[in-house]
Each structure stands twice: as structure tokens, then as C-alpha cells.
Amino acid sequence: MLKPPPLGILSLAAWLRSHGVTLNIADYQLAGGDMSDQLRPSRFASFIEDQAPSPIIGISVMGGMLPVVLMAVEEYKARHPEKTIILGGSGPTGVGTQILRAFPAVDCIVCGEGEATLLELLKNNCELSTVAGVVYRKGDSIVENPARKRIADIDTLPIPAYDLIDMNRYAVVNVSTSRGCPYHCAFCESPTFWGTGVIYRSLDNVMNEIRELRMRWGKRQINLCDDTFVVRRQRVEDFCRRVISEKLDFRWECFARVDLVDSDLMKLMAEAGCSAVFFGIESGSDSVLSRIDKRFTVAQAREVISQAVKIFPHVYASFVWGLPFETMEDFFDSILLMTEFGNLGARVQRPHFSLRPGAPLFTQYVHNIAYSTSLPYHFLEVPRRFLPPEVEEIIRRHSEIFVPFYHI
């Protein structure tokens, strides 16, 4: 079984299909092979070759695969110069202009929320000058059009096109009940992708999708992938009570904050089937938490984590290390808190800090980056032995694009 289906692509596909666009979906996860195989650009180029007869090829890419995808697209486009290549997803966020300058095979980048932008682009037969929310090449120039306004009513989007993939290949499915995050953590690029604030689906709309996943597709693990699911307490309570009263009987996980939950809310979530909660703790130092604008304290984190491990089967506590203003004392405070939470039963994650284009810290520290072969590959913590030499070379050659692969 694989990771969850590509939710962003499935949402785009459902929207385009509802407007008469004929399309095909191919999920690179289904290509198989180990990590060494998956990170080879030539393999991804062959995957595109096998799966993409269309004249227009759209690729949604997250940060960890960005160098692999860009190298693969160059290889593929050399064989098929007539194809139009469009990139989207979080990977190109904030570096669209730099990508188009360095990788001529890419024709266009869709920035942020993609449904309305991609539909307009296709309806205009890839005439880009009037399409908001894209970066594209015009002759020798790179043009960045104005940002597109967000979809105000995301209930108008159809349920993701699950029928276009083999749902039997996925043990876990993600559902998004909202888009965006109201917080502005200094290391996070989410506001750059989604814009500021949160736009919510109605609970009726969310429950319709969950019922389809349960009844039609037989899924029992349906995770909620909102940036922060627990922002509105009343909404969380209403969701949990509906899951319980409608006897939907599924397990779910979500992202939360220690300043937005308490024992009563967590017990209700567990009763409704929540089996795991992910908390971004980030640091064991109050001074660091203040500098990155987390808006909670170590004491709050201690209190909630100690409660959560007694309520949920799995509790994840994520820390980052290597922040530019982190002292050794701050670092040791984090190590002690990681140990404390681990001893309580929490699953501690500890990726090293890296800058994200569009995050508040990016502009301030982007000129202070360095590359190290001793660190894992990207924030995904993939062992570096899996990284092909040609991918490492392209990362070193284009630091302006691949900043998240560097450290301070």
C-alpha cells in the first residue's frame, strides 16, 4: 500500500472534468521501486513518456521532488519539444521566475490554488497574457502575472475525482476541510501558497465526501490534512459529534496546536475516531518560539503533550534545529524537551531547519545559506545515499531555486 492519493491533482481533475476538459491522471507513487529509483530523473522522464499522450502536461510537485522533476522535464522536452509543460504545487512556490530562467523546458508555472487558473489557461488555449496567477516565458522575458483571488466558496468544487485512480492501491486517504492557515510562523510558506486566512468547506460538504470514501471506496483511514484542523473549536466539536452520531466508523489524524486544544476537546476527538495528532512544537526555548512567532510557550506544550499521550494512540511532536538565531543553550533546551516528550510516549520528529521561499525568515537569511553533504536529503529526512549524483549537482548549481535543500 502507498501514501495517500494526490489530493491536489484529484481536485483539479474533478473541477476541469466538470467543465468539459478531457484528461488523464498518473501518480508517480504507483511506479514502484525504491527511493534510489524514484529519485532518478531519467526514470521520471520515462514515466511521463509512458503516461502522458496529451499535448499539455501538468505536473504537481512538492519540494522534495523539485530538482528531480525539473531535470526529468528537460530530458523529456528534448525528445518532445512540441509539448507544453505546466508546473504547479508547493515545490515551485516563490521561485517560479528562477525556474523559468534556468529550465527552458518549463513553459508555465501555476501559482497557488490552481483550479480556476488552470481552467482559464486551458480554455484560452494556453494564451497566458490575461491569465492571473501564472508565471510564464514570453520570448526572452519572464512574465509574472498578478496573483489570482482565492475561491471564496470552496463548496463549489466537486468531490475529488477518486474514480480516475485505482483506489485499491491506497490504504490511507486525505481530506481537506479548509484551505489556508491564520498563523504566520516565521519559517512557513503556507500563506505564500494559499494566501492569508482560512476558507472553510461546510461540514455538510465535508461529510458528503467522507461518506463517499467510506461507502463507495471502503476506506477506514481518512486523514484530515488541513494546515491546522483545530482553529475553530466549535467546528471541531460539531464535526466530531456528526461523525459519532452518523456512525461513520473511520480512523483519522490531524494537525493541531498546543494552544488550541485541551483535555475535553481531545477526548471528544478520540471518541470520534482520531487516532493520531501532529503538533508542531519547533523548540524547547521560549525565546526561539517568540522569534518564530509560534504564539505559545514551552509550558503550554508540556501540559498538552502530557495529556495527549494519555488520550491518543499516537502523538507526534515535531522540532526544528539549526535556526539562525538559535544559541547552544536553546538547542540543549530543545534536546531536553524532545527527550522528555519521547519518554512520555510521543513520537519525536527533528528535521533540520531550512528556508522556504515566501516565509518571513527567507528574505532576511537567504544570503547566509550553505550546503552540506552530511545532512539528510531535504526536510523529508531521506538518507543521502539515495540521492543520485546528478541531482546533487543540480541542487548545488542552482541554490536560488533549491534553497530548502541548504542550511543556515
Average of pLDDT values for 231-249?
Answer: 97
Residue 52 banded pLDDT, cuts 50, 70, 90: low
How far apart CA 254 and CA 185 sit, in angstroms, is 18
Domains of the chain: 7-144 (3.40.50), 172-368 (3.20.20.70)
Length of the chain: 408
Asked if residues 100 and 406 have their Cβ atoms less than 8 Å apart, the reply is no
How far apart CA 91 and CA 323 sit, in angstroms, is 21
Catalogue the E-assigned strands of 321-362.
Answer: 347-349
How far apart CA 1 and CA 271 sit, in angstroms, is 27
Residue 398's alpha-carbon distances to 66, 351, 393, in angstroms, are: 12, 22, 9
Q: Over 60: is that where the pLDDT of 44 sits?
A: yes
Beta bridge partners of 108: 86, 136
Residue 34 banded pLDDT, cuts 50, 70, 90: confident
Q: Check residues 60 and 378 and name the one with the higher pLDDT.
A: 60
What is the structure's pLDDT at 173?
Answer: 97
Question: Which set of grid coordinates corresponds to residue 206?
Answer: 465535508
How far apart CA 147 and CA 162 sit, in angstroms, is 29
What is the structure's pLDDT at 394?
Answer: 96
Torsion of CA 303, 306, 312, 315, to 10 degrees: 90
What is the structure's pLDDT at 376?
Answer: 78
How far apart CA 259 and CA 231 sit, in angstroms, is 10
What is the structure's pLDDT at 380?
Answer: 59
Average of pLDDT values for 98-121?
Answer: 95
What is the structure's pLDDT at 32?
Answer: 84
Q: Over 90: is that where the pLDDT of 51 sits?
A: no
Asked if residues 83 and 77 have their Cβ atoms less than 8 Å apart, the reply is yes
User: What is the average pLDDT value for the chain, to the nearest integer?
Assistant: 94
N-terminal to C-terminal alpha carbon distance within the chain: 37
Helical spans, DSSP H, in 85-220: 96-102, 115-123, 190-194, 203-215
What is the structure's pLDDT at 381?
Answer: 67
Average of pLDDT values for 103-125?
Answer: 93
Q: How far is CA 291 from the centre of its chain?
A: 24
Asked if residues 63 and 37 have their Cβ atoms less than 8 Å apart, the reply is no
Average of pLDDT values for 15-39?
Answer: 91
Please enumerate in sequence order all residues whose Cβ is within 8 A of that of 37, keeping only pairs 6 or more positions apart, or say none. Answer: 43
pLDDT in tens, 367-384: 999 998 888 776 656 778
pLDDT in tens, 321-354: 999 999 999 999 999 999 999 999 999 999 889 9
